[in-house]
Each structure stands twice: as C-alpha cells, then as structure tokens.
C-alpha cells in the first residue's frame, strides 16, 4: 500500500528545510499539524525518519532513501503543473538534460536557445557531469535525456546492462597531448609503451579510466599504474596544466586544435587510429517519450549535422 501522499509532501518540505517550523510556514499549516503528519508517516512506514540534534532535524538513512524517491516526483510535478493547459500537439514543459561538462557548456545552451525560439513553452534544466553519474540519473528518472560519452571500444555500458536507447550524435577524437617543452625533454619521438607509461600524467577524472582506455586502444596493454601528478575537475584546467608542461593528458581534439596547429601542444600518435569518443543521446529504452521529448530528440539529431559543428569536431591529427 502506498503511503499517504499528503504526508509525503510534508516529509519532503521538512527534509528539504530541516525544520518543522519552516515547513509549516511553507505549507501554511500549524507546527503541531506538521509534527503530527510526520509521526503518522513514521507509524505508517514503521521507520524513524528524523533525529533531533541541538534543535536541528537530522534525517535518518531511511529518510534519505525516501527523499531520493519523493524529490524527483514532487519537483517534476511542480515544474509540469503550469503546462497542463498547454495543447498536446505542441511541445511544452520542462526538459531535464545532462551532458559532459565541456561539451555541455559549449554547445547545449545554444541548442536550447534555438529550440526555445521554435517552442517558447519549453524550459530546460541542465546538469553537467561525467558519463556514469549522468547514466545513473537517467536510470533513476532524474533526467529525460543525457548527452553521454560512449567510447567505441568500451562495448556494453558496464554496470547498467541493456537498458538504454543510444543515438550517436558526434564523434570526438581523444588525444594524448603534452606541451612542446615537455615533449622535447621527455618524449623526443619515442612513442613506445615503455617510454610513455613512465611519464607524468594529468587527469580531469577521479580515476584514470580515460588513460586506461587510451593505452588499451593504442597498445592492447594497460600500465599497472600511472604517475598522476595532478587531478582536476575541469577539462579547461587540464589543458592549462598540459600547456604548463606538467605532463601528459587526454584532451578532446576540437578543444585544443589551435594549440596543436601552432605547435604549442604536441599530440602523441601511434600506428593505431585516433581513439574515438562518441557523444550520444541516451534515454531509457522502455520509456514512452512525451511529444516534447520526441521533438527535441529529432531536433538534436538534425542540429549536430550542422557543417560548422561537424568541422569543429574533425581531428587535428587527421589533416
């Protein structure tokens, strides 16, 4: 049996504000009424939801799990209710879209602007994260779409099974690069596995999975470890570290094209083709899309075929 929905609404506000008083004010209820609703919900669920610590409410583990279920529903309801009177034949309402940080910041706002010019009743909520968090948010119903990195040699998306529908959008070239000075001092034309695995590395991910993929692709071997000298949380900062000569890093080709052409940055090549990263439009496979989601999907698939965008994504080492 489902819990009482009014009590879940009270719980949502108490959890979000960490205060019965503030939640009562938000809900236009008395403080005793909010406390009573919480007590009834705890009795209904047979769990304790909050503990009081120094006049503050601290959610229990059960409360955190419940909030993860309730929050997306209430947020979506709040965002969609204003559009209920919109006609079904025209896109309207909120689209929740995730994307890789650098790609998302560069391209997604302009895509949204163009889409809203055609359909002004549509609004957007954008999340910029790495691929695994984005796919998790898709799985958990927190995003309608994600523009996610899918490496062509990665195979099935590990840990998720066959639950996604994937539409390829753009092909990125992922390059191992370093500054010209670092190259002269440490590489000097020696692109062998033996030399490269002993170098200093910079990464913009919490784990060296992108480095692992690069070595696996180019040498069919993975070094036992990497000497990571700096970990950053943005690709832009990684490129700064590379240009400063701190070591080797994996860069997205179209973001460092000009530096490679000028010779400020050197791409490490091997006999293998450049490693490919596919930016794909991902959604749940079994989800029935709304009209707005269908129209946006078709729009994105067409928009990325723009000649200017395709030209920017050509590999520097292909010329």
pLDDT tens digits along 93-118: 889 999 988 788 888 998 999 999 99
Task: Tell me what the mean pLDDT of segment 191-199 comes to.
Answer: 95
In the chain, domain spans: 5-82, 87-171+277-318, 173-276
Class (C level, CATH) for 87-171+277-318: alpha beta
List, in order, residues 6 or more apart from 207 with CB less than 8 Å away.
none
pLDDT of 235 higher than 60: yes
Least confident of 8-12, 29-33, 144-148, 206-210: 206-210
Task: Tell me what the mean pLDDT of segment 191-213 comes to.
Answer: 89
Cβ–Cβ < 8 Å for 108, 97: yes
Task: Tell me what the mean pLDDT of segment 67-76 comes to.
Answer: 84
State the pLDDT at residue 112.
94
How much of the chain is in helix, strand and coil states, percent to nearest 5?
Answer: 45, 25, 30
pLDDT of 213 higher than 50: yes
pLDDT tier for residue 194 given thresholds of 50, 70 and 90: very high
Residue 204 and residue 128: Cα distance in Å, rounded? 14
Name the residue with higher pLDDT: 194 or 308.
194
State the pLDDT at residue 200.
97
State the pLDDT at residue 154.
42
Residue 22 and residue 271: Cα distance in Å, rounded? 64
| pTM check: above 0.75 | no
Do 5-82 and 87-171+277-318 have matching folds?
no
pLDDT tier for residue 155 given thresholds of 50, 70 and 90: very low
List, in order, residues 6 or more apart from 241 with CB less than 8 Å away.
202, 230, 232, 247, 249
**CATH ID of 5-82, from 2.40.50.100, 3.90.245.10, 1.10.10.10, 3.40.50.300:** 1.10.10.10
pLDDT of 319 higher than 70: no
State the pLDDT at residue 148.
84
Task: Tell me what the mean pLDDT of segment 221-228 comes to.
Answer: 92
CATH code for 173-276? Answer: 3.40.190.10
Tell whether the torsion through CA atoms of 171, 177, 180 and 183 is positive or negative: negative
Residue 267 and residue 256: Cα distance in Å, rounded? 10
Mean pLDDT of the chain: 85
Closest CA to 56 of 17, 29, 30: 17
């Amino acid at each position: 049996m489902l819990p009482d929905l009014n009590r879940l609404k009270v719980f949502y506000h108490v959890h979000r504000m960490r205060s019965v008083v503030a939640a009562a004010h938000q809900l236009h209820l008395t403080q005793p009424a909010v406390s009573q609703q919480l007590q009834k919900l705890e009795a209904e669920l047979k769990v304790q939801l909050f503990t009081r610590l120094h006049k503050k409410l601290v959610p229990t583990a059960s409360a955190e799990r419940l909030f993860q279920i309730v929050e997306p529903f209430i947020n979506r309801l709040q965002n969609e209710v204003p559009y209920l009177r919109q006609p079904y034949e025209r896109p309207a309402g909120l689209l929740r879209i995730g994307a890789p940080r650098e790609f998302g910041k560069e391209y997604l706002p302009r895509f949204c602007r163009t889409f809203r010019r055609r359909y002004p009743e549509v609004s957007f909520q954008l999340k910029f994260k790495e691929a695994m968090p984005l796919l998790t948010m898709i799985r958990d119903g927190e995003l309608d779409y994600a523009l996610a990195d899918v490496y062509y040699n990665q195979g099935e998306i590990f840990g998720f099974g066959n639950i996604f529908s994937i539409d390829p959008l753009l092909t990125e070239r992922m390059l191992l690069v370093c500054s010209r000075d670092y190259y002269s001092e440490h590489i000097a034309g020696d692109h062998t596995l033996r030399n490269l695995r002993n170098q200093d590395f910079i990464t913009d991910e919490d784990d060296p999975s992108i480095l692992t993929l690069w070595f696996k692709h180019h040498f069919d071997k993975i070094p036992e470890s990497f000497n990571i000298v700096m970990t950053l949380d943005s690709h832009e900062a990684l490129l700064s570290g590379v240009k400063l000569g701190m070591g080797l890093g994996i860069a997205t080709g179209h973001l460092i094209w000009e530096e490679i052409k000028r010779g400020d940055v050197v791409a490490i090549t091997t006999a293998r083709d450049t490693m490919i990263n596919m930016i794909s439009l991902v959604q749940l496979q079994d989800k029935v899309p709304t009209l707005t989601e269908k129209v946006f999907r078709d729009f994105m698939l067409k928009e990325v075929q723009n000649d200017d965008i395709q030209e920017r994504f050509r590999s520097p080492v292909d010329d």
